[in-house]
Structure 1
Amino acid sequence: MFLVWLAATILFQAILTKTRSSKLRIPPGPLALPIIGHFHLLQPSLHKAVQKISNHYGPIIQLYLGSNPGVFVVSAEIAKEILKTHEICFANRPGNTVISFLTYGKSDFAFAPYGTFWKFMKKLCMSELLNGRMLDQLSPIRGEEIKRFLETLRKKGEANEGVNLADELLKLTNSTVMRMAISKSCFDSHHHDEADKVIQRVKESSMLSAKFNLQDHFWFCKGFDFQGFGKRMKEVRGKFDVMLEGIIREHEEDRRSQKSTANNNHGAKDVLDAILRISEDPSSEVKITRDNIKGFLMDMLSGGTDTTAVTVEWALAELINHPTAMEKARKEIDSLVTSSGKHRIVMESDIQKLPYIQAIVKETLRLHPPAPFIMRAPSENCTIAGFHIPARTKVFINVWAIGRDPKNWDDPLEFKPERFLLGQGFEVRGQHYQLLPFGSGRRGCPGTSLALNVAHTCLATMIQCFEWKVVGDGDGVGGGVDMEEGPSFILSRAKPLICVPKPRLMPFPSLS
């Protein structure tokens, strides 16, 4: 009886879809299979599969993810139409069942619906929480964490030990963001256990958010927890909530202690301290709730770590495969440091004087954007590139494919940092739609400046301080490093980059 009902429902849905499409021009796409839609065409890498299908059907296509239609874009021009011309309509970012639950019903900033609260938080990020002044205030923290990272590499290199760069870079970015956000460090003996707990909770929530959930893709599964996600979501958020609550209470006690000693001239010691001050302000135009604070912390702890680590790992892999570019970068750094008359490590404040390092990072983000898609959902029916897009349809802009489009780039599959030194003026902050690693417009990544500061400085110090000897032959073409992508939602490498970091500066500069 159930099968008969299901078959009748599918037939009705197909008739309804055909009726609608006869009246409205919808994006083209291949024939969908009953129930599963186009899932059979989208394995193993969604961004590559979409690019391949688009080669046959055009730069904007519609594919069914189970019961739900999704619109996929692989054109810089259409991306601009969505993100700029129709920016307000596409100001919402779709989530899923797990993300909505873990973020306290989208009480965070990243997935909050476009409206009064989101606008207020955006203004706070730009004016206080992640602005230049706050980043400058916390720059010593980033410097200290990079020095610890370099010291770890130096010891490994002197012992001729291989280093898993993915692991070490993730420790660096995790510790940096945690110290900036909540004043906890992976390497501080006083906070080590608590920091490890933060990392574990972030991993648990990220892994759960990325898993395939039947309820998100098949209408007849809504309300039925066949996979046991409900119990798992409650466990993960419960653990995260207890941890965040403890961290917030600790900060609140510190703030009360400072007030009781009449020490009112202190600046915010970290981002949580700053947001607590704002939440306590009775004149604030929007009341920030406890769930809002926890959601924002979850965004910061989970959104700014693995993406930056992955970018630096890809950049180093490309440089190992392109020794001429590595040597050019090294000469640029050595020349700058030598001109200062000091035997020192390159610093964050040097980056503006290192155009080739900046070009390497841009080229890495073009070829290996850590998030292959920008996701949006229109708040109302709209027309994009002449096609009807219904309200709340999930729209995926394939940043990976746009970055490799021969219409936008000469030799698009080649690693050529020099392309960004030839007066093209491309930036990665969303102004140029051929290059969108951080999104664009109102919902562009608010942590772009932080991510770039860490990525540039970390990569520059790794180039300056070490020669990199790959463990094994790397399994790449001609013995180079293999550049195959992994299957994860964040575009990490299929195989971790393992190298022996041989110190090249003698004596090695003091890191104290």
Structure 2
Amino acid sequence: MKKMCVTELFSTRQLERSRSVRREELARFLRRLAMKSQATAAVDLRDELLTLGNNIICRSMLGPFKKLGRFMLRKQATEVPARFDELLEGILKKHEERSGGGADDETNCDDLMDILLRVSKDPNAEDLFLAGTGTTTDATVWVMAELINHPEVFKRVRKEIHDLIGSSNNGRLVEETDIPNLPYLQAVVKEAMRLHPPVVVVPRACRETCNVGGFDIPKGTAVAINVYSIMRDPAVWVNPDDYSPERFLKSSDDSGRRSHHGGFIPFGGGRRMCVGSAMALSVIHCAVAAMVHCYDWKLENGEESVNMETTLGFNMALAKPLVCLPKLVCAESVFQSVEVSSL
């Protein structure tokens, strides 16, 4: 299963092929926000970002199937299993008919369903549909919450974007290929994920008997790695509870000690780290960059800062919804000019 994900589902080649899908869905996301802005309507940012993530995963996994969206959004819950079976049967038939055809470009390429059909005999090939969208969404919400709470950081990110791709009035939509040239944006994302890791505890099992911190851990023992504590460890991080994206722009602090060597593990670490991290980071960076570039944000309740209370559990999320009023500050052509396929 792990090998399938690394070599097929989330490989560099597959991510390149699905780049146009992510770009289109980001443009749709910005258009929905523009409608909210025109109506001076509040937005539950998590709901909108979850829709963005689910649309990306659905299109990447199932390919263009025009009736999927309408089917998923119907309120009638009767006979769902039978209708869902019929829906998936249609998708499978469509993919089987075109299997073996291959593809040479982004508009006609193997999607994740084609890949899954090829590996369908693997008994462990399951539980992939919509996996990870919730944690990616929560991570993006945390980034935006910190930016709203730190307007000076928000302005610096926007300036970095303007310097690279142009101002809000005559620029263009941020592309995935722009991200390597936006180091401060990357630092902002990393710092939010350090303080608020989407997954607080990572479960593992000892493959061999070992000693950790003076404790003997027998082979086969289930262990839980506290990601939250590791990324706030004062032995690794300078002022670990402070929000400071600048720490990721430096290789070391004043004492010469690396401030994040081995301590930044929001996706886990080693061979068992999250296989979808590259896709997740692509979505997070582009979504945050687009929201900063195109919109100003105010809290619906009139407060100046976001309540950073968190839920308790393995996943870390805001306890209260992040409900904001987006104000369009860029020319709509920035995202309206992006050609999107009909659904």
Asked if 1:335 corresponds to 2:163, the answer is: yes
Give yes or no for contact 1:157–1:502 (8 Å, CA) kept in 2: yes
For 2:252 and 2:27, how far apart are their aligned partners in 1?
34
Which residue of the partner structure matches residue 147 of structure 2?
Answer: 319
Larger helix proportion of the pair? 1
User: Are the equivalent residues in 1 in contact too, given 2:30–2:335 (CA < 8 A)?
Assistant: no
Residue 258 (structure 1) aligned with residue 98 (structure 2): yes
Secondary structure of 2:7's counterpart equals helix
| Aligned position for 2:330 | 505
The question of 1:480 aligning with 2:305 is answered yes
Specify the code of the residue in structure 1 equivalent to 2:116.
I
> Displacement of 1:248 after TM fit?
5.4
**TM-score (ref. length: structure 2):** 0.85
2:72 maps to 195
- What is the alpha-carbon distance in structure 2 between the residues aligned to residue 324 and residue 162 of structure 1? 23
Q: How far did 1:418 drift?
A: 0.7
Deviations 1:171-229 (A, max 9, x none): 111111111112368xx6x21244348xx9xxxxxxxxxxxxxxxxxxxxxxxxxxxxx
Distance 1:395 1:435 in 2: 19
What is the letter of the counterpart of residue 312 of structure 1? T
C-alpha separation in 1, matches of 2:196 and 2:237: 15
Q: What amino acid is the match of 1:253?
A: K
Distance in 2, matches of 1:195 and 1:351, equals 33
Residue from 129, 133, 139 that aligns with 2:9 = 129
What letter is aligned with 2:141? E
Are the structure 2 counterparts of residues 407 and 256 from structure 1 closer, same or farther at C-alpha, using a change threshold of 3 Å?
closer
**What are the within-5 Å matches in structure 2 for residues 364-443 of structure 1?**
364-424=192-252, 432-443=261-272
Q: Residues of 1 paired with 2:185 and 2:276: CA distance?
A: 20
SS at match of 2:197: coil
Per the TM alignment, residue 314 of structure 1 is displaced from its structure 2 partner at its CA by 0.7
Q: Which residue of 1 aligns with 2:277?
A: 448
Q: For residues 376 and 320 of structure 1, what CA distance do their matches in structure 2 show? A: 35
Structure 1 residues 168 and 422, CA gap change in structure 2 (3 angstroms):
same
CA pair 408-252 structure 1, distance change in 2 beyond 3 A: same
Name 2:115's counterpart in structure 1.
Answer: 274
Kindly report the root-mean-square deviation, in angstroms, between the aligned alpha carbons of the 2 structures.
2.7
Structure 1 runs (4+) greater than 6 angstroms displaced: none
How far is the alpha carbon of 1:249 from its aligned partner? Answer: 3.6
> What TM-score do the two structures reach when normalised by structure 1?
0.58
Contact 1:175 1:184 in 2 (8 A): no
Cα distance in structure 2, aligned partners of 1:489 and 1:193? 33
What corresponds to 1:139 in structure 2? Answer: 19
Q: 1:352 aligns with which of 151, 168, 180?
A: 180
Q: Where do 1:143-182 residues align within 5 Å?
A: 143-182=23-62
Change (3 A) 1:275 1:506: closer
- Specify the code of the residue in structure 2 equivalent to 1:133: R
Task: Report the Cα offset of residue 247 of structure 1.
Answer: 5.8
User: 1: CA distance between counterparts of 2:159 and 2:62?
Assistant: 37
What amino acid maps onto 1:275 in structure 2?
Answer: L
How far off is 1:300 after superposition?
A: 4.4
- Displacement of 1:392: 3.4
Q: Specify the code of the residue in structure 1 equivalent to 2:146.
A: E
1:242-272 CA-partner distances (Å, limit 9, x unpaired)? 94x656543442244236xxx7344643112
Q: How many residues align?
A: 322
Summarize the Cα distance change of 1:510–1:444 in structure 2 as closer, same or farther, 3 Å threshold.
closer
1: CA distance between counterparts of 2:33 and 2:217? 51
Deviates most, 387-396 or 167-176: 387-396
The residue type equivalent to 2:61 in the other structure is: A
* Separation in structure 2 between the aligned mates of residue 124 and residue 182 of structure 1, nearest angstrom: 17
